[in-house]
Amino acid sequence: MPTCGYRLRCRPPFDTRRMSIALLFATAALFSFFVPNQAADSPLAIVQAGVQSSEDAPFVTTDYHFQPGDYVYFTFEVAGFGIHTNPDTKARRISLSYQITPEDLSGRPLTNPESGTVAVDLAPEDKNWTPKRRAAFLLPSGLAAGEFQIHVVVQDAIAKAQAQKNIPFRVGGVSIQPTDSVSVEHFQFFRKEGGREPLELPAYSAGDTVYMTFDMVGFKLGPGNQYRLTYGITVLRPDGQIFLQQPNAAEIEEGGFYPAQFVPANFQVKTPSHAERGQYTVLLSIHDLVANQSYDTKQAFTIE
């Protein structure tokens, strides 16, 4: 304890800890006074954006499904852009650039992106005007069903700002199961060519044509997303004898910007009017020439 002289007020000892804390707060306050706040978010925005089934059509609903090979139409507007005013002529000008990319949810582009600019002079009556742009993209034919998006980025050269947005859309059609090697999915029999309703019980009459479709999946890709597939078909009579044999029924080789997720194929068998009744066995053999892998499957139909 400190000692106090006669008629002197006793003062507590100097508290260095409290002095340090006070100094710290004072320094922080001084620092915050001199350091400017971060700039507020730019008002640049992508508005009135959506996908359409045709040009200038209403935006599609959330449950709408495009199909592989369809065109996806896209429209958007830009708001909150910067305006440069010429001090001499008082002319007002905007300078925007944009890029639109259809892509899967991992960010992989489905097609080449589309880019453009908006560099125009504004008249006095254009104070509420917003630029509107359109684009159209052809979906790849080998695109499996799933969720996709349009990714759009806008750059404002005057305001030194950027805005971006993702607009989702859906693709229907073929749903596939991921596999590490070539395989066959959705093997189906039909009554007629191009039919939409597969037969639950593939039963035919003698003289009918048997239509079959299937999807090849899980194949490997070469340079340029190129695949090379062949398939052969053998059909056995009810007694096990060969009714039809085509070991090299088709060879398919193609590439594309976006890697194909499946390749559709079809085959048909014309039965004679005197065809034996009973169950016929279809032996399908797929060969992936890029990966040097094969896959065999067995299906059956009956002639009643």
Below-70 pLDDT ranges, the chain: 1-41
Q: How high is the pLDDT of residue 17?
A: 44
**Domain assignment of residue 11, yes or no:** no
**Domain assignment of residue 4, yes or no:** no
pTM over cut 0.75: yes
Kindly state whether residues 163 and 270 are assigned to the same domain. Answer: no
Q: How high is the pLDDT of residue 151?
A: 98
Kindly state whether residues 86 and 142 are assigned to the same domain. Answer: yes
Q: How far is CA 58 from the centre of its chain?
A: 21
Gap between the Cα atoms of 219 and 170, Å rounded:
24
Model pLDDT for residues 208-249, shown as the tens digit of each residue: 999 999 999 999 999 999 999 999 999 999 999 999 999 999
Counting the structural domains of the chain, the total is 2
Domain range for 216 is 183-303
Q: How high is the pLDDT of residue 19?
A: 41
Nearest Cα residue to 233 out of 209, 219, 250: 250
The CATH number assigned to the domain holding 205 equals 2.60.40.3880
Kindly state whether residues 62 and 162 are assigned to the same domain. Answer: yes
- Cβ 138 vs Cβ 85: under 8 Å: no
DSSP 79: E
Kindly state whether residues 205 and 139 are assigned to the same domain. Answer: no
Kindly state whether residues 138 and 49 are assigned to the same domain. Answer: yes
Nearest Cα residue to 266 out of 249, 243, 248, 291: 249
Q: What is the DSSP string of 180-225?
A: SS-EEEEEEEESSTT-SS--SS-EE-TTPEEEEEEEEES---BGGG
Kindly state whether residues 72 and 132 are assigned to the same domain. Answer: yes
**Domain assignment of residue 217, yes or no:** yes
- Cβ 206 vs Cβ 272: under 8 Å: yes
Kindly state whether residues 204 and 154 are assigned to the same domain. Answer: no
Kindly state whether residues 200 and 110 are assigned to the same domain. Answer: no
**Domain assignment of residue 34, yes or no:** no
Q: How far is CA 259 from CA 118, 122, 141, 201, 213, in A?
A: 33, 44, 10, 34, 21
